[in-house]
């Protein structure tokens, strides 16, 4: 009889996320100490107190966003299509928890949905991010047209009622001058069939811009996550 590994499913999902980030050279021995899964679970407990929509991201996707933030240590974060702030919460981590390195210093959430933004502001307050957070009632195009920033992580997750994800490629181009060296660009939903054309255009925009590495599509759930890196 041969012995079989017997770690629990949660630990295995964590090792899977770690394995993906190691394969992409985003996690190594130098930054591994900043990835604390105990901090992940503590944050999850804290998020349960906020009025977030728990069904919008799978648990593995939450792990992936959290781990990307721990490994990359962004100082500035931009989320286009921030909705009530659930995805952003995993990228922001817990400011009071020192196990995952330095907290994010600046977070811009952008969404034309004013009612969602009201909840996003309330959630950021509940989670202690109010001092570093700006939630903007506008489209990503409008925000990027007037803003001059240097973002370390940009998450694109807009979902317009008719146009869907058609603006992903345009938003990438608009955000491109506002990315710091080595910045990560994340795009949610690359695997959703109804967005296939929009996502193909987004990926082509990344591939044809020599200043980016990628894209990589991480198919961890039905939605998936696209990842690209500014050289």
Partner 1 sequence: MTLCGQRQTEPASDEILPASITRPATVLGICASAKPPLGSTMRSAVRGYLLHALRPLARSSPPVQLLDLRESPLPWFDGRRPEAVDDPNVALAVHAVRSAGALLLGLPGYWSAIGGVFKNFCEVLAGPAYDLAGEPTVFAGKRVGLLVVGADAPSTSAAARQASVIMGSLGARLVAPPVEVLNPREIRSEEQLEALERALLGLAAATLVASRRGETA
Distance, in Å, from the CA atom of 231 to the CA atom of 211, rounded to the nearest integer, reads: 6
Q: Does 224 bind partner 1 (CB under 8 A)?
A: yes
Q: Does 9 bind partner 1 (CB under 8 A)?
A: yes
Distances (CA, A) of 208 to 88, 142, 165, 170, 217: 28, 24, 19, 13, 16
> Closest CB to partner 1 among 12 and 177?
12
Q: Does 189 bind partner 1 (CB under 8 A)?
A: yes
Distance, in Å, from the CA atom of 60 to the CA atom of 63, rounded to the nearest integer, reads: 5
> Closest CB to partner 1 among 104 and 225?
225
> Closest CB to partner 1 among 75 and 126?
126
Q: What are phi and psi of 108, to 5 degrees?
A: -110, 120
Site residues (CB under 8 A) for partner 1, limited to 80-119: 81, 83, 86-87
- Contact window for partner 1 (CB under 8 A) among 124-132, 134-142, 171-179, 215-223: 215-223
- Please pick, from the candidates 94, 152, 157, 198, the single residue that binds partner 1 as defined by CB under 8 A: 157
Count the residues of the shown chain that bind partner 1, applying the rule CB under 8 A.
54
- Least distance (Å) from partner 1 to the CB of residue 156? 11
Q: Cα dihedral angle (24, 26, 30, 36), rounded to 10 degrees?
A: -120
- Least distance (Å) from partner 1 to the CB of residue 34? 18
Q: Answer yes or no: are the C-beta atoms of 135 and 117 closer than 8 Å.
A: yes
Parallel/antiparallel/unpaired status of strands 212-218 and 225-230: antiparallel
Q: Does 3 bind partner 1 (CB under 8 A)?
A: yes
Beta strands in 51-165 (DSSP E): 76-80, 106-110, 133-136, 151-156
- Least distance (Å) from partner 1 to the CB of residue 28? 13
- Contact window for partner 1 (CB under 8 A) among 51-59, 90-98, 127-135, 178-186: 51-59
Q: Does 42 bind partner 1 (CB under 8 A)?
A: no
Using DSSP, how many helices (H) and how many strands (E) does the chain show? 8, 7
Q: What are phi and psi of 87, to 5 degrees?
A: -65, -40
Q: Answer yes or no: are the C-beta atoms of 111 and 120 closer than 8 Å.
A: yes
> Closest CB to partner 1 among 103 and 121?
121
Residues near partner 1, by CB under 8 A: 1-7, 9-10, 12-13, 15-20, 22-24, 53-62, 81, 83, 86-87, 157, 159, 188-189, 191-192, 203, 206-207, 214-224
């Amino acid at each position: 009889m041969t012995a079989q590994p017997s770690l629990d499913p949660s630990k295995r999902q964590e090792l899977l996320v770690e394995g993906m980030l190691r394969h992409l050279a985003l996690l190594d021995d130098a930054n591994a100490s900043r990835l604390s899964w105990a901090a992940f679970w503590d944050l999850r407990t804290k998020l349960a107190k906020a009025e977030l929509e728990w069904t919008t991201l799978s648990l593995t996707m939450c792990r992936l966003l959290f781990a990307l933030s721990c490994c990359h240590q962004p100082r500035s974060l931009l989320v286009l299509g921030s909705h009530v702030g659930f995805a952003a919460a995993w990228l922001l981590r817990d400011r009071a928890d020192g196990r995952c390195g330095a907290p994010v210093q600046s977070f811009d959430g952008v969404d034309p949905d004013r009612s969602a933004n009201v909840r996003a502001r309330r959630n950021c307050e509940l989670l202690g991010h109010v001092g570093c957070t700006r939630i903007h009632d506008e489209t990503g195009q409008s925000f990027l047209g007037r803003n001059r920033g240097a973002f370390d992580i940009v998450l694109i997750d807009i979902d317009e009622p008719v146009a869907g994800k058609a603006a992903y490629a345009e938003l990438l181009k608009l955000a491109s001058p506002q990315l710091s060296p080595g910045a990560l660009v994340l795009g949610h939903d690359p695997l959703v069939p109804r967005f296939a054309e929009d996502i193909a255009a987004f990926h082509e925009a990344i591939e044809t811009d020599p200043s980016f590495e990628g894209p990589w599509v991480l198919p961890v759930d039905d939605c998936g996550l696209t990842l690209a890196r500014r050289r």
